Structure 1
């Protein structure tokens, strides 16, 4: 059996590692454009900021390691054509220019995503950089050495993490985003306001609700960024405006969402039974709505890659779905979210109700007790939990992993009120703040109790 794998970052590496162990007799070939595999792009800002000094720690595998498993590694090979009828692949060796032709019995698409590059005037100027892979991270580090004024375009996770890294490096930082607040895909306004206020107190300029219209430069290098409202001087621009799935190779050949994300069933199988897909090129089953959603996260990718390997020969293990659970540490604040926020629910035209509580993470008699804000989103009819967000200077983000399980298993807010959590003054309170969210929801809709006789 011949298995071809296109791409080898999170999902691809997970798929290949597992397939090599599960199917030792199979002929497995990996096609990868880059000269490396398994780069943890979620650690890019930590590397740029110097928190991670040895970049090799951001790779959890290598071409040599996969080759030692008996896998044929076609590194720096760009796949240009896939014939799904004849099951053939055409690729080019990017080093020699040689054309390579291959066949497959099973194809695993783990081509990932690529940063969106809007067609903005002047975008080809020098020092306008993308932030996705290892080589781009090295370019950012090198160019930032001589840059004092840095502009980050895009206020998602990578954007705000880079803002933190540049501010800590003593740069003058401007953050531009077309939305009216940062991190709007992950957190509601009361949470993002706390982060924005922290940014402003550190001298970071926030240019929100602004759209970049053009870049202008001097001697071929960017010097100003002009939005629909202002012009900002800059020495370096990092574009972090989102990602698009890398799926052009199969366009029109398998089912996709409108944005090009590949649709897979619960066994990671596409509409072509001999093609499997995993990672950032895919739409994932989203439990809060029951539909498919494009959520490019490393956690989704490694799970899907592992499942693609397990289900390659026959349906064996179902994908349990995702809640889009994610977390972030920015300066002194720890935050995390899972499932639907009020913002995302509104965009999806889903009616929700929210319960917000403020508490301290442990009893006041302890030497420190940091404030915690928790928001839980529920279906007002069934009272099932659909989402949760938390923020604090204390690291209470693991509570969102708990809430992710609650969503996945269909727990109601009333059940959460009385769920068994341990108490120890070093860590929490007798009533855990998750319990208190459930109790607050009950107090808002008191039930009629039977009369005592």
Structure 2
């Protein structure tokens, strides 16, 4: 069985590993444009803020590791053409310029995603930085040690983290977003209001509800122009979002409107013997029961493993995702799973919600702190559809509890009665997850 794996970040790495682990005799060829693989880009902001012990540890695998498993590694090879009908892959060796075409029995599309880069004047200038791969990380790390100010465009997870880390190492930061709140797609206003206060307390200028119109470089600085003003700094960092990198496969397999390749529960595409995983593909979003595009490393890893499980024959089904995620900003832990108000509105889903803010453990303890909890559910079926949490205490694992509740189609009534332990060091007699579920269950 000859298998071509096209692209090797998270989904590609785990696909190749799992295929070779389960099928040691398989002939697996991996094509990767870069000279590294498995880079954890979620650590870029942490590296910028001097919170990474060793940047080399931001890689969890290597070309050598996959070679030892039996893969043929074609690093620094750019795939220029793929014919899914004839199962052929054409690639250019970026070091020599040589171009070769090979045929395969099965093809795995793990080409990942690309940063959103709008067609705006000056956006490709030397003072505009992207935040995606290892080369981007090195450029940003090197320049941020030399500059005193930055404009960050995009207030989703990546932009929010970059802006925060730059501010805590005493850079003057402006954070721009077209939406009217920081993390507007990730959390509701009861959480984002508090985080916005923290940005302001740390000197970050928030330019929210503003659309970027262009970039102008002037000597050692760059000015970012929006529809409401202009902001000048030493550098600009783009963190607008991502799109699937699937242009090579257009009109060859079924896709979502944004280009994400649609797969079934075995990671098979609409074309026989062609699989897709990671940021190049859609996911099955359990809160809505529909295909969606949610580029997360956790999704990519699980999908990559499933490719390996199913490469020979359909064996293990995809369980779907809740898009569970978390971030730490200014000492606050923010964690969420499933839908929130913004996500439900975007997907035309009707939800109910309730919020409470108890101390996370008894007040007879010498210290405690509050947890802001919000739970979302279907008003007809009472099924749990989402939850979010904010606290100075590490409440990140609460999102995993909500994720399991959504995946297992639990109701708010069932979640309220789940066996969650009590011990004064850790929580209340009624854990805050159970407490917010009980509040929801009592709401008529």
What TM bracket, shorter-length normalisation?
A: over 0.9
What is the alpha-carbon distance in structure 2 between the residues aligned to residue 222 and residue 110 of structure 1? 38
CA-based RMSD: 0.9
Q: State the 1:124 CA deviation.
A: 2.1
Q: Trace 1:118-137 onto structure 2 (pairs within 5 A).
A: 118-137=118-137
Give the TM-score of the pair, scaled to structure 1: 0.97
Q: State the 1:137 CA deviation.
A: 0.5
Q: Trace 1:18-97 onto structure 2 (pairs within 5 A).
A: 18-97=18-97
Q: Trace 1:260-275 onto structure 2 (pairs within 5 A).
A: 260-275=259-274
Deviations 1:181-205 (A, max 9, x none): 0111111111111110111111100
Q: Trace 1:266-305 onto structure 2 (pairs within 5 A).
A: 266-305=265-304
CA contact (8 A) 1:215 1:222 kept: no
Deviations 1:111-142 (A, max 9, x none): 10010101111112211010011111000111
Partner secondary structure for residue 254 of structure 1: coil
Q: State the 1:385 CA deviation.
A: 0.3
Q: Quote the residue 2:313 is aligned against.
A: 314
Q: Trace 1:339-358 onto structure 2 (pairs within 5 A).
A: 339-358=338-357
Give the TM-score of the pair, scaled to structure 2: 0.99
Deviations 1:354-412 (A, max 9, x none): 01111011001111111101100000011000000000000011011001000000100
What is the alpha-carbon distance in structure 2 between the residues aligned to residue 249 and residue 438 of structure 1? 46
CA contact (8 A) 1:115 1:243 kept: yes
Q: Quote the residue 1:236 is aligned against.
A: 235
Q: Quote the residue 1:397 is aligned against.
A: 396
Q: Quote the residue 1:178 is aligned against.
A: 178
Partner secondary structure for residue 68 of structure 1: helix
Q: Quote the residue 1:421 is aligned against.
A: 420
Q: State the 1:222 CA deviation.
A: 4.8
What is the alpha-carbon distance in structure 1 between the residues aligned to residue 212 and residue 233 of structure 2? 13
CA contact (8 A) 2:7 2:109 kept: yes
Q: Which runs of no fewer than 5 residues in structure 2 stay unpaired?
A: none
Greater Cα offset, 158-167 or 239-248? 158-167
What is the alpha-carbon distance in structure 2 between the residues aligned to residue 443 and residue 377 of structure 1? 14
CA contact (8 A) 2:358 2:372 kept: yes
Deviations 1:230-280 (A, max 9, x none): 111111000000000010111100000000000000000000121001101
Q: State the 1:53 CA deviation.
A: 3.2
CA contact (8 A) 1:128 1:222 kept: no
What is the alpha-carbon distance in structure 1 between the residues aligned to residue 305 and residue 32 of structure 2? 18
Deviations 1:21-45 (A, max 9, x none): 1111111100000000100111111
Q: State the 1:215 CA deviation.
A: 0.7
